[in-house]
Amino acid sequence: MKRKGPIIDLRPIEETMTEEELKEFREECEMYKKYAEIKIKEHEKKNNQESD
């Protein structure tokens, strides 16, 4: 039977990434988190203006 997808590595990222890669990954995650928070606030503000 053929495998239908890629093999997934389920090890923690601390075991698969170097310290530098891990630092960059966490910084990128933090950036996306801040971006999402900004977009959520913009969306809530827009909804509040539409409901007034």
Q: Is 11 inside a domain boundary?
A: no
How many structural domains compose the chain? Answer: 1
Q: What is the pLDDT of residue 1?
A: 62
Eight-class DSSP state of 6? P
Q: Is 10 inside a domain boundary?
A: no
| Structure confidence at residue 29 as a pLDDT band (50, 70, 90) | very high
Q: Is 26 inside a domain boundary?
A: yes
Domain that holds residue 23: 16-51
Q: Is 45 inside a domain boundary?
A: yes
Tell me the whole-structure pTM to 2 decimals. 0.66
Please list the helix, strand and coil fractions of the chain in percent, rounded to the nearest 5, in that order. Answer: 70, 0, 30
Structural tokens at position 30: 């933090």
Half-sphere exposure of 25 (CA within 13 A, CB side): 9
Q: Is 23 inside a domain boundary?
A: yes
| Structure confidence at residue 4 as a pLDDT band (50, 70, 90) | confident
Q: Over the chain, what is the mean pLDDT?
A: 92
SS3 of residue 26 by DSSP: helix
Alpha carbons 43 and 47: distance in angstroms, whole number: 6
